[in-house]
């Protein structure tokens, strides 16, 4: 799956997400024989045309339910993903990626840990593209499932979300979640108001 993240990263410079083939595959890749967490596979496929390349008759009931929730999430976010501006943040530390799509009053981002970083505590990350003159509510979308969390305490905002000015989210940022390698979380930002001066 790290290869899929890399392919999407560079292909996204030329093509919009709806033209990028991105499929949820089975738990073990048939070509490399690597096992990849379902949450990372779901997050990766979400930022493309979100196909399924998996014999779903082999899914456990839990996997089937996760696929169902993911499909509903994709239907909810499809308009944003296929019409918004694709953005990436290049300064998120070793072994990590942050990318997303921003539209009018809404954005979705993937925080992805591909490998163990040299930093003991993940750095803060900014959410690029948000209107700094608006307040935004940022929450983690659970439909893709629970990732394998890294050691240490998770940032408090992760559990219930946070509401901050766009200028804070794009300038100062948020403490990053602690994730094990090859894991991802999906973040959803929704504008809640204009900032009164």
Q: What is the mean pLDDT of residues 153-164?
A: 94
Instruction: Give me the mean pLDDT over the 110-114 stretch.
Output: 89
Does residue 191 have a pLDDT over 80?
yes
Question: What value does the mean pLDDT of the chain take?
Answer: 86
**HSE-CB for 39 with a 13 A CA cutoff:** 24
Mean pLDDT within 141-164: 92
Alpha helix ranges (H) inside the chain = 2-11, 38-46, 61-81, 157-160, 166-171
CB of 77 within 8 A of CB of 43? no
Which candidate, 171, 67, 84, places its Cα nearest to that of 125? 171
Which domains are seen in the chain, by residue range?
Answer: 2-81 (no CATH), 85-194 (2.60.40.1180)
Instruction: Determine which of 7-11, 71-75, 114-118, 150-154 has the lowest per-residue pLDDT on average.
Output: 7-11
- Here the tokens at position 96 are 């990590």
Percent pLDDT > 90 in the chain is 50
Residue 93 has pLDDT above 60, yes or no: yes
pLDDT over 80 at 146, yes or no: yes
Model's pTM, two decimal places?
0.88
Please name which of 125, 115, 122 lies closest in space to residue 88, comparing C-alpha atoms: 125
Q: Chain-centre distance of CA 56, in angstroms?
A: 23
């Amino acid at each position: 799956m790290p290869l899929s993240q890399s392919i999407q990263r560079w292909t996204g410079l030329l093509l919009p997400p709806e033209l990028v083939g991105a499929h949820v595959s089975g738990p073990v890749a048939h070509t490399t024989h690597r096992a990849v967490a379902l949450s990372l596979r779901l997050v990766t496929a979400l930022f493309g045309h979100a196909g399924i390349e998996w014999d779903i008759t082999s899914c456990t009931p839990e996997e089937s339910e996760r696929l169902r929730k993911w499909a509903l999430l994709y239907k909810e976010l499809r308009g944003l993903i296929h019409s918004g501006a694709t953005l990436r943040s290049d300064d998120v530390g070793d072994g990590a990626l942050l990318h997303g799509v921003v539209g009018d009053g809404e954005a979705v981002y993937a925080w992805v840990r591909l490998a163990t970083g040299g930093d003991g505590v993940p750095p803060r990350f900014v959410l690029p593209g948000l209107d700094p003159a608006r307040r935004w509510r940022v929450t983690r979308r659970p439909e893709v499932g629970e990732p394998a969390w890294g050691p240490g305490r998770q940032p408090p905002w992760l559990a219930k979300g946070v509401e901050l000015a766009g200028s804070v989210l794009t300038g100062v940022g948020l403490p990053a979640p602690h994730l094990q390698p090859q894991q991802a979380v999906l973040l959803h930002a929704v504008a809640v108001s204009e900032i009164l001066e």
